[in-house]
């Protein structure tokens, strides 16, 4: 710990503390400048100024307050990969629940968390100050890919999840069979960060297992030649070296070419312990690319617990004449039948595939030497169903050309190039022309508005954002685009009140905003439609094609006829997409909007279909790229594609506008003389793209625009030479054989090179490339290791198919091979990797002690595992830092005002004494008043006592000669006291009457008598 970290108040930027050296200068200059304030005020002002400076310096130094915490956070990492048996997974969950409940100290605020991991890691429960609420199976397991064990990912996620105000420990429950990532490197980072690591090993135990290791094919299979395919099946020995028992089952070998699959053999087998080799005879009569697959099915599931490793695949390629795949639009089948027939007449093997039944893997494309996209859009279909190319299929097409050397030809038509929705895709990168047009004079401007309504369909909102991105890709830089969504009111996602904004340089910003958007549940159709209508009105004279797409569940209030008629007047067609609609009413309203405006109506039940709908509808805005006018093609370059063709082709009636790529490899062979900008006039262009070649013909092959070509004498030569120029080299590629070997997540490629006399070819400049399961390509460095023998290798940690293309040298045809890694090493590991687990636990965290290897976990050993307290206090105490510089700035501001007050306001204390005296004088006067009131109260009590005594005495009759005197006393504190004497003897009142008289009546009589006597006198 550094010096500043050990302080109670450390500083992030201690260099600013040097400013405290200014204090003496502050005192020197301020002492003189404040001399007029007098002694007391001068010292007070200097003190305040000094405090202000000190507080500002401490704030600049970013002073913090350190707090030590005795709590600990433990995160449990549970291995949920396929190599862990189900019984052990259940034991893991039970252990975590009991360990947290038994050892977590709630009084100290201990926290616990849970992370599940396989190929990646997910947080099941974040750090909480409570027992972990686990009920049954873990929820995040359903989102995990369990075909690999990535300890490093789980440890990294745990490090990022830890709170800062506690000590930290992770408890890893795993078999240690890491096959992705680097756990040791990650563990070292955790140790440096003070994180402790405990390990609970999972013992895999004895379990039967069978795995097909590989299918082996000969290196040089020829057409019509018999050969043997060998299948290696391993009846794996059990953990600890115990010999396995024989396993009975069926072994099946099948051969697949394209989409046609044929079972070659199926036989009952009994697998002896260790490796078993089976041989199958076969003969190939037709050149093509073949896939061989072996599958083993045990008679009893108890003899083989993991089925993922019961399958293996191998590939072979038998060379022959060129084979071409023609992909046509499923909405317009047969438009290119004339071209297909002419190619077949010229001995080119052609397979036709429509866009609704596309290839599904790169392996399917290996049988073809060139692929022709014949006026096919990226998406096609109608209201009943939409089909098209996925991003993965586009990646396959491009990789097949760039890395595997296959040709790629794109033929024009109203559904092709930019007009077909191919803009901003990887396919555009592979073509010699760009599909966007920057020149608004050449390509009229389009406008597209989209209304996004919250979807109740699973992942519907996610796919809405994806389709918005796809629609943006289909638009050119001159086109307008806008998105309306609900945020408490209908609003544009960008552009403010303008709404529709030119794509131009804003495409990236638009995509970013779309990705952050959350569609809201708008209550009414009319406000959003009015917003869009107003925006379309503003650009009425600029946009040639205007289109709108509304995606909704039909729940908002119906649109008025008035606003729908406005769209019709503006020429805007509104396409509606119903997702998760609320009954027939929702369908009817969306269908009404589409019908009244001339748009399309779609019903979607699978959210993955949404992107294709938007791609299809966005093409309507890009339709101005189609230029339908009669032009005479002009040949601009003599190329081998045009060899033997005299003059120029006949006139055409249309083509798709494109822009020539600015690349020296691009050759433009034919243009249209009509457009002003020559860059957009391309009719035929070619270039070399990676190992393959691609061709762009922006007009069609005679189905619509080039009808005059079908009777032209040069038709066969032009199209056959386009196809042959683009194709992979065919025929005999020389005496080269290629083989692959898979071992330890590596594939070794072995090439044997011989000349025509079977002599070794040495010192070849051989190179290669491989395309993996994720369509990512990797170069293969080939080196000569023996006479005529060349080797290279590449990583194969991911399961799936790998396709290899090796170029023997400049000007020589590439040779190809395929290899399949059928399953991850997750399904090959049989024993716990204790060596790795011990290394992880042996690292000492900073400020703490080494972790522990806890008892291997099963239901039977649960108590032993629980004996170790994962919440033990043997790690570095957590010190959390809190910034206090904002409070220092506030204090400095307050003291600054106090300093100004002392200097600007003159204050003396002459008023203190008079104020004191006045306060005490008031107090004395108040005391005197209190004493006078007290005397009056006492006198009142005395008079009341006298009166009470006399009342009591009046109850008895007095003697005949007795006198009753009533005295009237005057005093400063009383008004009067009357005294009178009455002669009782003169009275005629009897004793009985006297008793009946009250005290008041007697007093009144006495008073009257006294007044009378006074008057007589």
To which residue do tokens 């008289």 refer?
Answer: 997
Confidence band (pLDDT; 50, 70, 90) for 998? low
Identify the three-state secondary structure at position 540.
Answer: coil
The yes-or-no verdict on residue 895 having pLDDT over 60 is: yes
Residue 732 has pLDDT above 60, yes or no: no
Burial group, residue 986, by CB count within 10 angstroms (0-12, 13-18, 19+): exposed
Which pLDDT band holds residue 464 (cuts at 50, 70, 90)?
low
- Which residues 6+ apart lie within 8 Å of 218 measured at CB? 227, 228, 316
Which pair of structure tokens corresponds to residue 738? 């290629």
Give pLDDT tens digits for 84-125: 888 888 888 989 999 999 999 998 889 999 999 988 899 999
Q: What's the rounded Cα separation, in Å, for the pair 373 and 289?
A: 21
Residue of higher predicted confidence among 174 and 979: 174
Q: Residue 1015 — pLDDT band, cuts 50, 70, 90?
A: low
Tens of pLDDT, residue by residue over 261-314, are 899 999 999 998 888 999 999 998 888 888 899 999 999 877 787 777 888 888
Give the mean pLDDT of the chain. 81
pLDDT above 80: residue 878: no
449 vs 578, which has greater pLDDT? 449
What tokens were used for 962?
A: 């007795």
End-to-end CA distance of the chain, in Å? Answer: 116
Q: Tell me the per-residue pLDDT of 357-383, one tens digit each, with 9 for 90 and over.
A: 889 888 889 889 999 999 998 877 655
Overall residue count recorded for the chain in this entry: 1017
> Residue for token digits 């909102």?
461
Q: Does the structure show a pLDDT above 60 at 1002? A: yes
Model-level pTM? 0.61
Q: Per-residue pLDDT tens for 6-52?
A: 445 677 788 888 888 888 888 877 777 776 676 777 788 788 888 88
Report pLDDT digits (tens) over 677-692: 567 889 999 999 988 9
**Digit-coded pLDDT (tens) for 225-261:** 888 999 999 887 665 555 678 899 999 999 988 778 8
| pLDDT at residue 991, rounded to an integer | 46
Alpha carbons 537 and 532: distance in angstroms, whole number: 9
- Looking at residue 250, its pLDDT comes to 94
Confidence of residue 442 (pLDDT cuts 50, 70, 90): low
Centre a 10 Å sphere on the Cβ of residue 480 and count the other Cβ atoms it contains: 26
d(CA 111, CA 166): 9
How far is the C-alpha of 567 from the C-alpha of 533, rounded, in Å? 6
901-934 pLDDT, tens digit per residue, is: 777 776 665 666 677 777 766 655 656 666 667 7
Q: Which residue's entry shows tokens 């890709």? A: 473
Kindly report each contact of residues 129-136 with a partner whose C-beta sits within 8 Å and lies 24 or more positions away, as own/partner: 130/106, 131/97, 131/100, 131/101, 131/104, 132/96, 132/97, 132/100, 134/93, 134/96, 134/97
**Least confident interval from 341-350, 460-469, 584-593, 784-793:** 460-469
């Amino acid at each position: 710990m550094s010096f500043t970290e050990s302080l109670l108040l450390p500083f992030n930027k201690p260099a600013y503390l040097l400013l405290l050296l200014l204090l003496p200068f502050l005192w020197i200059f301020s002492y003189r400048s404040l001399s007029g304030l007098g002694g007391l005020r001068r010292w007070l002002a200097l003190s305040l100024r000094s405090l202000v400076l000190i507080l500002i310096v401490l704030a600049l130094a970013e002073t913090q307050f350190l707090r030590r915490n005795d709590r600990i956070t433990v995160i449990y990492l549970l291995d949920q990969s396929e190599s862990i048996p189900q019984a052990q997974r259940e034991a893991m969950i039970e252990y975590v629940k009991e360990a947290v409940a038994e050892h977590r100290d709630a009084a100290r605020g201990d926290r616990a968390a849970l992370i599940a991991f396989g190929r990646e890691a997910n947080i099941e429960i974040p750090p909480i100050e409570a027992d972990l609420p686990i009920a049954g199976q873990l929820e995040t397991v359903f989102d995990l890919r369990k075909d690999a064990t990535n300890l490093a990912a789980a440890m990294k996620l745990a490090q990022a999840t830890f709170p800062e105000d506690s000590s930290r420990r992770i408890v890893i429950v795993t078999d240690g069979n890491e096959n992705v990532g680097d756990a040791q490197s990650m563990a070292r980072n955790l140790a440096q960060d003070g994180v402790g690591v405990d390990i609970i090993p999972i013992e895999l135990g004895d379990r039967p297992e069978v795995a097909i290791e590989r299918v082996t094919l000969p290196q040089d299979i020829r057409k019509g030649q018999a050969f043997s395919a060998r299948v290696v099946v391993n009846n794996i020995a059990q953990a600890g070296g115990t010999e396995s028992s024989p396993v009975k089952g069926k072994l099946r070998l099948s051969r697949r070419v394209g989409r046609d699959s044929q079972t070659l053999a199926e036989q009952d087998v009994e697998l002896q312990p260790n490796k078993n080799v089976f041989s199958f005879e076969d003969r190939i009569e037709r050149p093509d690319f073949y896939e061989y697959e072996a599958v083993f099915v045990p008679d009893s599931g108890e003899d083989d617990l993991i089925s993922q490793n019961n399958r293996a695949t191998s590939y072979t390629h038998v060379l022959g004449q060129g084979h071409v795949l023609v992909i046509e639009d499923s909405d317009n089948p047969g438009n290119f039948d004339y071209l297909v027939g002419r190619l077949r007449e010229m001995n080119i093997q052609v397979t036709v595939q429509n866009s609704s039944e596309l290839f599904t893997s790169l392996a399917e494309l290996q049988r073809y030497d060139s692929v022709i996209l014949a006026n096919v859009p990226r998406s096609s279909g109608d209201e009943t169903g939409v089909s098209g190319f996925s991003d993965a299929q586009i990646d396959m097409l491009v990789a097949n050309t760039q890395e595997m050397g296959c040709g790629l030809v794109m033929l024009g038509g109203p559904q092709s190039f930019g007009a077909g929705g191919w803009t901003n895709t990887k396919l555009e990168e592979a073509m010699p022309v760009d599909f966007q047009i920057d020149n608004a004079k050449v390509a009229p401007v389009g406008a597209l508005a989209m209304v996004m309504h919250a979807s109740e369909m699973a992942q519907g909102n996610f796919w809405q954002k994806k389709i918005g991105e796809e629609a943006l890709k289909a638009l050119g830089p001159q086109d307008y685009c806008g998105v309306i969504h609900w945020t408490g009111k209908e609003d544009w996602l960008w552009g403010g009140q303008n709404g529709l904004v030119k794509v131009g340089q804003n495409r990236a910003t638009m995509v970013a905003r779309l990705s952050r958007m959350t569609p809201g549940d708008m209550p009414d159709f009319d406000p959003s439609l009015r917003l869009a209508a107003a925006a379309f009105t503003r650009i009425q004279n600029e946009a040639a094609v205007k289109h709108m797409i509304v995606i909704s569940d039909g729940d908002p209030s119906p649109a008025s006829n008035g606003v729908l008629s406005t769209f019709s007047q503006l020429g805007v067609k509104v396409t509606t997409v119903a997702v998760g609609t609320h009954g027939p009413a929702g369908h009817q309203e969306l269908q009404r909007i589409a019908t009244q405006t001339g748009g399309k109506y779609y019903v979607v039940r699978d959210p993955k279909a949404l992107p294709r709908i938007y791609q299809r509808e966005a093409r309507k805005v890009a339709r101005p790229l189609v230029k339908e006018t009669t032009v005479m093609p002009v040949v601009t370059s003599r190329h081998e594609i045009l060899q033997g063709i005299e003059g120029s082709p006949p006139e055409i009636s249309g083509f798709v506008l494109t822009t020539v790529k600015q690349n020296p490899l691009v050759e433009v062979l034919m243009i249209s003389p009509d457009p002003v900008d020559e860059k957009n006039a391309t009719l035929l262009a070619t270039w070399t793209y990676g190992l393959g070649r691609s061709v762009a013909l922006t007009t069609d092959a005679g189905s619509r625009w080039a009808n005059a070509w079908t009777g032209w004498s040069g038709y066969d030569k032009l199209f056959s030479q386009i196809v042959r120029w683009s194709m992979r080299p065919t025929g005999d590629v020389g005496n080269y054989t290629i083989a692959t070997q898979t071992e330890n997540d590596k594939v070794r490629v072995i090439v044997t090179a011989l000349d025509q006399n079977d002599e070794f070819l040495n010192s070849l400049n051989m190179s290669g490339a491989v395309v993996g399961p994720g369509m990512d390509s990797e170069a293969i460095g080939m080196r000569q290791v023996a006479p005529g023998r060349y080797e290279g290798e590449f990583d194969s940690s991911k399961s799936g198919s790998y396709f290899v293309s090796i170029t023997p040298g400049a000007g020589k045809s590439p040779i190809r091979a395929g290899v399949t890694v059928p399953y991850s090493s997750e399904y090959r590991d049989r024993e716990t990797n204790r060596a790795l687990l011990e290394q992880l636990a042996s690292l000492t965290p900073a400020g703490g002690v080494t972790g522990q290897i806890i008892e291997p976990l099963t239901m039977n050993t649960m108590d032993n595992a629980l004996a170790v307290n994962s919440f033990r206090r043997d790690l570095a105490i957590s010190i959390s830092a809190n910034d206090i510089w904002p409070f220092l700035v506030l204090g400095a501001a307050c003291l600054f005002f106090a300093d100004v007050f002392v200097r600007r306001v003159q204050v003396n204390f002459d008023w203190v004494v008079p104020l004191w005296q006045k306060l005490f004088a008031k107090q004395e006067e108040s005391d005197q008043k209190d004493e006078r009131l007290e005397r009056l109260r006492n006198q009142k009590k005395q008079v009341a006592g006298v009166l009470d005594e006399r009342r009591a005495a009046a109850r008895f009759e007095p003697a005949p000669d007795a006198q009753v005197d009533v005295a009237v006393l005057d005093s400063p504190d009383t008004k009067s006291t009357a005294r009178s004497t009455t002669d009782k003897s003169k009275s005629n009142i009897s004793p009985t009457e006297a008793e009946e008289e009250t005290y008041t009546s007697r007093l009144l009589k006495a008073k009257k008598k006294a007044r009378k006597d006074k008057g007589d006198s």
